[in-house]
A and B are shown apart, each in its own frame.
Chain A
Amino acid sequence: MSAIEVKNVNFVYGKKTPYEVHALEDINLSIKENCVTGIIGHTGSGKSTLIQMFNGLVKPDSGKVFVDGKDIWEKPKEISKIRYKVGMVMQYPEYQLFADTVWEDIAYGPKNMGLSEDEVKERVTTSAAFCGLDGEALAKSPFDLSGGQKRRVALAGIMAMKPAVLVLDEPAAGLDPRGRREILGGICKYQKESGTAVVIVSHSMEDMAKYCDELFVLSHGKLLLHGDCKEVFSEGELLRSAGLDVPEIYGVVKAIRKQGADISKYIYTVNGAVDAISRLLEGRDE
């Protein structure tokens, strides 16, 4: 069964005003359990709007959203329960921190869930450790941390709620390469260990190629492409027309293929390319 299913969803911002924006048009998709799903699209393509539907922050104008096979808007009063099931780390989450200490901030979500004190303590310690925050950091004020550290606090705050689906809106935006690697790598490790479904929104094709099992491409509020990395990146022309790009390494491999070399069409990570090219070179030596 799929973790989240979206059926024929439409959404318009500023309805019946001169500033009407059709942010989502007839979207159908399903997020698989136990894997990392990526959502890509140009700026303003509707990614943030789409994922805010997953936990009921945005209500579709028409269409349905199912979590665990249940229509989330069937009982609007119980929408907050969905928010514990689908954890959401918003774009630039460092601006949502408010508590006196990092510890308190991470504990905010679990406390809202009404967990026992011991349970809260346990969860905060585990998720903080997972996000690389030690005891010293936990006692600090969240406002004294660096941007990257703040983001980890926000992430830990959601992880501590142990959602069945973890959704992240551009978790690596504005971080340096090392910060990106640590955050995204950490999220994928978390996915493998906990078996939750993870959804990552991003602009970066390189990151997506590296970490995602399945991809959805949005363009101007419509679903343009869907498939695993292989399938999506083989549609280079279509991606470029949507203002996106294929990973650069994909172009390199394509150029090698053009020279007549026998190299697979489906290579989109640097490591994959290194393997394939060295195999190619070994073959030539013999």
Chain B
Amino acid sequence: MIRLPIGYYVEKAIDWLTYNLDSFFSMIKTILLAIINSFEFIFTGIPFIVMLLIFVIISWKVAGRNVAIFTAIGLVIIKSINLWQQTMSTFALVATATVIAIVIGIPLGIWMSFRDTVNSFVRPILDFMQTMPAFVYLIPAVYFFDLGPVPGAVATIIFAMPPIVRLTNLGIRQVAEDVIEASRAFGATSSQMLFKVQIPLAMPTILAGLNQTIMLSLSMVVISAMIGSGGLGDVVLRGITQMRVGLGFEGGLAVVILAMILDRITQSLGPKEK
């Protein structure tokens, strides 16, 4: 049997891209870096106690007392194991990836829901993004964006974006036909329909997608630390490479706490059932 030289062509393509689209990639790099840095600047700039308060108030408002208590305890633990700085820098990376996933993913999902052709074209790409082992993204990401937080953010975005796209698409498609018909009968334009009917009704599903996206970006923390994105992933990585079980565990624990807080908050977002 002949061997298809797929890997060879991928390498050639990447070389070509690096060479020819260099300015494009450096623009993306600048933008992403700016976003990550501003998030990090804000999150680490705010004193611990203020940040704690903000988190507790938000989680109380959104998810109730129990989650607020858990949030307070969790964040105090992180502070007490001296990982606050790293947690905030990981949070900045997650926030960046999430914001970008929302900005790209929701419109893409809406477009897919409107056009079956787009849907059938984008779906396999999403499958690819989600199931291709994340490590594989790292190499080209480093090619295009050097080491540091940017390639980590890019790999995270690629890996974490599919759920929000899929669930936006699904949510909009699931809006009941009779409600759409009623809105049309009352003379709603397509944008009124989208913003007053379809998106609000799809919101619970979209938020479920957002939740998954955030969780997936947190799962990329350690992997992206391998290409120098720092934060908690770096702590875990040091634990592994230096055989320091305690350090690795502490880093992992902080990731888990951050994940649980973000999960509980985003799960409770959206309209509450009465």
**Pair from one complex:** no
Q: A-contacting residues of B (Cβ < 8 Å)?
A: none
Q: B-contacting residues of A (Cβ < 8 Å)?
A: none
